[in-house]
Amino acid sequence: MSFLSLFRRHKTFSHGGIFPVEHKELTAGLAIRRLPFAPLMVVPLAQHKGAPAVPLVAVGQEVVRGEPIARAEGHVSVPMHAPATGRVKAIELWPTAEGPRAPAIVIDVYEAASQEVLYQDEVDVMRLTPQAIVDAVKDAGLVGLGGAAFPSHVKLRAPEGKRIHTLLVNGCECEPYLTCDHRVMLEQTDALLRGIRIVLRATGAERALIGIEDNKPDAVAAIATRLADDPVIRVQAIAAKYPQGAEKMLIESLLDQQIPEGGLPVDLGVAVYNVGTLAQIGDLLPSGRGLIERVVTVSGPGVGKPGNYLVPIGTPVSFVLEQDGVDGDANEVILGGPMMGMTVASLDVPVTKGVSGIVVYARGDQDQQARFVFPCIKCSRCVEACPMHLNPSMLGQLAQKRDYARMESDFHLNQCFECGCCAYVCPSNIPLTQYFRIAKAINRERPVSTE
């Protein structure tokens, strides 16, 4: 790196954003390791956005690792595959990270099984038609692994009258603590590039841009070396700033374009994929296998052995924590990153396709201190921090008055993607993001006005 590069500013989005302490050094240097198989695996039928999958197995049936155990229901849905060889113990309600108990397939794992993946069917993906690739991605049960868990195949096809010309590859990983995407970029570079080429073929896009935050120069270098001077795929470092990894922010940073209100990336001819998803596409599609495991960062002050682990999907969180040296002092367990992740109320919750990390705070950590909420002092720090150009202060006051309809109609509540920047910077400790999530939940429940 030359001396001049110290002064070069990397591209970023135009407004807002914060710089939380990253804590990535805990796990960034640790290679991905495989976690043992848990004695009990729980595969929820609704671990993606869209319709829940429909079980294909009966209670008592033996399943082999990689075997499809649930089929997709409709277009916006994906199938599930058995994460381990064993016997289906039950199909019952199980706690989820979202709260309500939901149906899940519970598998008793055979202890002495070799856990080989026997379900595979090798294909030359680059010879497939784009539609066949879309079907293959759906059959593999792939969803957005960055956390949103939106079925990947849906985004591969542009709706009537629209065309995807650019593929954006999201390697930002802007959440504190999380390093799983970082490790995937370093260790699974070939699979990632293969995945990008497959998606380019399926979408018909002409170019791919990989956006990586500049706090991961080794990942940028690794990919740039492997690419040499590829005419189609390009890697670009962008400023490390939260929430750089949000879809809308990434598009603005890399392409200087904003998605119109209520629009989707495809309106700009763009498709955004997480590096983890693409690496899985590159890995699973050629062998015709299903998504049965993913890389999860286990980190935080409460973890004895932080690291990046290859975890079978369906492993209960309690088992992961036990393996990683979390003692009884765990006070808060978050699935995902600390900014946007879900705190779980039960450790029986399994690792699902959308879980990118498990962050554990122990009792007495600084971040845990009880906080007193003061009145808003109109300092406008939240307005400066909001990457969506909203006015969180005003929205917060309307929320306190329960004027949820006006929040939506006059102050663009639905543009908020709950990144948490406003609540993070608020000197009065006002839980703004919580207010907005409540408001959105209530607005969703309200019957649509007929007027």
Partner 1 sequence: MSSLQFVGVAVAFMSLLGIFLATVLVVANRWLFVFEDPRIDEVEDLLPKANCGACGTPGCRPFAEKLVKGEVDPGLCTVNSKDTNKVIADFLGVELGKHEKRVARLACAGGAHVAHIRASYDGMKSCRAAHLVSGGGKGCAWGCLGMGDCATVCTFDAIHMDKHGLPVVDTEKCTACGDCVDVCPKDLFEIHPVSHRLWVACRNREFGDQAETQCEVICTACERCSVDSPEGLITITGNLAIIDYRKNRLASKVAIERCPTGAIVWLEPDGRISKGRDAKQVIRKTALPVG
Q: Which residues bind partner 1 (CB under 8 A)?
A: 93, 95, 97-101, 342-346, 349, 370, 373, 402, 431, 434, 437-438, 441-442, 445
Smaller CB distance to partner 1: residue 14 or 400?
400
- Least distance in angstroms from the C-beta of 257 to partner 1: 32
Contact 16, 388 (CB under 8 A): yes
Residue 77: C-alpha distances to residues 71, 123, 141, 222 (Å): 9, 23, 8, 34
Q: What are phi and psi of 99, to 5 degrees?
A: 130, -75
Token readout for 436 is 């907005």
Smaller CB distance to partner 1: residue 187 or 365?
365
- Least distance in angstroms from the C-beta of 344 to partner 1: 5
- Least distance in angstroms from the C-beta of 321 to partner 1: 14
- Least distance in angstroms from the C-beta of 299 to partner 1: 20
Sequence-distant (≥ 6) Cβ neighbours of residue 210 within 8 angstroms:
169, 171, 196, 223, 233, 234, 235, 236, 275
The whole-angstrom separation of Cα 82 and Cα 70 is 9
- Least distance in angstroms from the C-beta of 308 to partner 1: 24
- Least distance in angstroms from the C-beta of 331 to partner 1: 9
Sequence-distant (≥ 6) Cβ neighbours of residue 409 within 8 angstroms:
none
Smaller CB distance to partner 1: residue 100 or 262?
100
116 burial via Cβ count (<10 Å: 0-12, 13-18, 19+): exposed
Q: Which of 125, 141, 128 is nearest to 67 (CA)?
A: 141
- Least distance in angstroms from the C-beta of 236 to partner 1: 36
Contact 365, 303 (CB under 8 A): no
Smaller CB distance to partner 1: residue 308 or 428?
428
Smaller CB distance to partner 1: residue 101 or 378?
101
Q: Which of 345, 361, 288, 358 is nearest to 135 (CA)?
A: 288
Smaller CB distance to partner 1: residue 208 or 334?
334
The whole-angstrom separation of Cα 53 and Cα 351 is 17
- Least distance in angstroms from the C-beta of 431 to partner 1: 5
Contact 149, 354 (CB under 8 A): yes
Smaller CB distance to partner 1: residue 175 or 293?
175
Smaller CB distance to partner 1: residue 101 or 389?
101
130-158: burial string, b at 16+ Cβ within 10 Å, e else: eeebbebbbbbbbbbbbbebbbbbbbbbb
